Structure 1
Amino acid sequence: MRFNLPKTPAVHVKGKAFRLADVDPDATKPFTRKHLDKEAAQPRLQALRRRLSELQELLYAEHQRSLLIVFQAMDTGGKDGAMENLFTGVNPAGVQVATFKAPSTEELNHDFLWRIHAQTPKRGHIGVFNRSHYEDVLITRVHGLIDEKTCKQRYEDINNFEALLTHNGTRILKFFLHISKEEQAQRLQARLDDPAKNWKFDPNDLKERARWDDYQQAYEDAVRHCSPNHAPWFVVPANHKWARDLALTEIVVAALEEMDPQPPKVAFDVTKQVIE
């Protein structure tokens, strides 16, 4: 399976030579080469949203395959906003959203993928992971909860798990929303400055911020080891939200276009149906 990436600022990770430091979080090209900016990009974004809505309806009607979209990011990376913008106008009945936080006691009594598998999308649905199974090779590694041997084994387990999903009709797209440390500082400060957003601020975010370099290395290693053709990682420059949103929608629409979902054939003669 080959996926042709549309021309966006996103980087399609291919192979272990990838370096996260080579991706500029401020990047907006090729959009800005076309003289696009936040306002000028809106017509294109609206057209893509309409097409996404059409394709999602066809996927739901076909009821044979599914699409799984994984979002990962540093704190304040914009996962919630990206999800909201991506699915504007999409029928929520065909979308499943799962958020993965610290595992419960019951979840810890199973393998690390046990809770993930239960949340994968049903046939005909688009599944969205707000954080994911990759937390088990990110925060666990940064905090020393697993050693390097276990981490490498989990990379292999993740690749096998995603292959299993693919073999059973689930298309997988994985997005790392890449912001700079300076941008994170501004977004954290904005949460403190706006009383309506104080609830979003968690003092523990500052402790995680102090481990910035460790997280960057953990993300780099995870995307390098777990980006096969059937479950690719896209590193999306996310300092500029308008470019982030346009890039995400371009990629998702292109993937669904490639899937080409078709509505089922009806089991009756349409021409003989009379409505009185």
Structure 2
Amino acid sequence: MDRIDIEKYRANDNFNLRQVETYEDFGKSNKKLKKGLAVIRKELGEFQDIVYAHGKYSILVCLQGMDTAGKDSLIREVFKDFNVSGVEVHSFKVPTELELSHNYLWRHYIVLPAKGKFGVFNRTHYENVLVTRVHPEYILNEHIPGIHTVADVDQNFWDKRFEQINQFEQHLAENGTLIYKFFLNLSKEEQRQRLLRRLAFKEKHWKFSPGDLKERALWDTYQKCYEEAIVKTSKDYAPWFVVPADNKKATRIIIASILLQSLKKYKDIKEPMLSEKIMSNLDNYEQQLQGEK
């Protein structure tokens, strides 16, 4: 697989979601795309071992997208070659009563990856400026001082929340967390086809919910909210990458490539060296073990 231009997918201040492609195949067959991912995935898995041994950075991978965008299968395929002790995946559903009794970032903060580990958020803290933006009545469940009605949840409220998220991510970055945020850019027609497949095949029925259709009816509103959230929170320390999601195999290659190419820029990430004392005695240690035969 040829090296991709990761800057092609990075969101900037002029980002316009309507002008971004939702399909990519790199002119390659599904078979070649699958082989290409296997190569990148293996190298990414090997690099994860180095990150784990180095133990000074944590990596947070954030995945956002409309329903059926392919987040679950992407996690399974991209991180397949990782040592399971070095990666943790967290999926965020509707907040529980306990989670609502804390600030909205609390449930995300307590599961952040430790140094040396990868953390994958399947849906993220951005749900708090996406789903709640589309359904502002949900904000009332957070019992925030000064917020009494939906009318109190105005543009100033969202601007403050964007700034809070930026500060949250900057704090993480300044303390050793490398943040990569991916929006899986799915077309409305491809979502329709994927929902139809969930209805057509019995083994996929469990994935379907009538609520999917209710949210689909709000497609344009979600797209607008995604665009504003991406523009206001894509920073050098926590960039957003907008990845075409209509072709799952290409989506996986793009995200795996962005992670691998970006992480390899950190030249200080390397295996720790043994002390001079241990290095000078390696032959003795080997002889000791050989002598046990």
TM score, norm. by length of structure 1: 0.92
Contact 1:9 1:236 survives alignment (8 Å)? no
1:129 to 1:118, Cα distance in 2 relative to 1, 3 A: same
Distance (Å, rounded) in 2 between the aligned partners of 1:236 and 1:214: 20
Distance (Å, rounded) in 1 between the aligned partners of 2:35 and 2:131: 39
Distance (Å, rounded) in 2 between the aligned partners of 1:71 and 1:21: 20
Distance (Å, rounded) in 2 between the aligned partners of 1:117 and 1:167: 15
Counterpart in 2 of 1:272?
284
1:120-169, Cα deviation, whole Å (9 max, x unpaired): 11000000000010000000000123432211111101111000110111
Distance (Å, rounded) in 1 between the aligned partners of 2:65 and 2:45: 25
Counterpart in 2 of 1:86?
78
Distance (Å, rounded) in 2 between the aligned partners of 1:236 and 1:272: 53
Counterpart in 2 of 1:51?
43
1:176 to 1:127, Cα distance in 2 relative to 1, 3 A: same
Q: Does 2:73 match 1:61?
A: no
Q: Pick from 110, 115, 127: which aligns with 1:123? A: 115
Instruction: Indicate the structure with greater helix content.
Output: 2
Contact 1:67 1:125 survives alignment (8 Å)? yes
1:233-272, Cα deviation, whole Å (9 max, x unpaired): 0010010111111111110111221124211122423333
Counterpart in 2 of 1:40?
32
Counterpart in 1 of 2:146?
none
Counterpart in 1 of 2:9?
11
Residue 258 of structure 1 aligns to a residue in which SS? coil
CA-CA distance at 1:273 after TM superposition: 1.2
Counterpart in 1 of 2:239?
232
The total of aligned residue pairs comes to 266
Contact 1:66 1:171 survives alignment (8 Å)? yes
After superposing the two structures, state which structure 1 stretch, 167-176 or 144-153, moved more. Answer: 144-153
- The aligned amino acid for 1:137 is V
Counterpart in 2 of 1:189?
196
- The aligned amino acid for 1:147 is D
- Aligned pairs for 1:72-151 within 5 A: 72-145=64-137, 146-151=153-158
The answer for unaligned runs of 5 or more in structure 2 is: 138-152
CA-CA distance at 1:57 after TM superposition: 0.3
Distance (Å, rounded) in 2 between the aligned partners of 1:144 and 1:112: 14
Distance (Å, rounded) in 2 between the aligned partners of 1:6 and 1:225: 26
Counterpart in 1 of 2:226?
219
CA-CA distance at 1:40 after TM superposition: 2.0
CA-CA distance at 1:107 after TM superposition: 1.4
- The aligned amino acid for 2:193 is Q
Paired-residue identity, %: 41
Counterpart in 2 of 1:155?
162
- The aligned amino acid for 2:245 is A
- The aligned amino acid for 1:92 is V
1:225 to 1:120, Cα distance in 2 relative to 1, 3 A: same
| Runs of at least 4 residues off by over 4 Å | none
CA-CA distance at 1:104 after TM superposition: 1.3
The answer for unaligned runs of 5 or more in structure 1 is: none
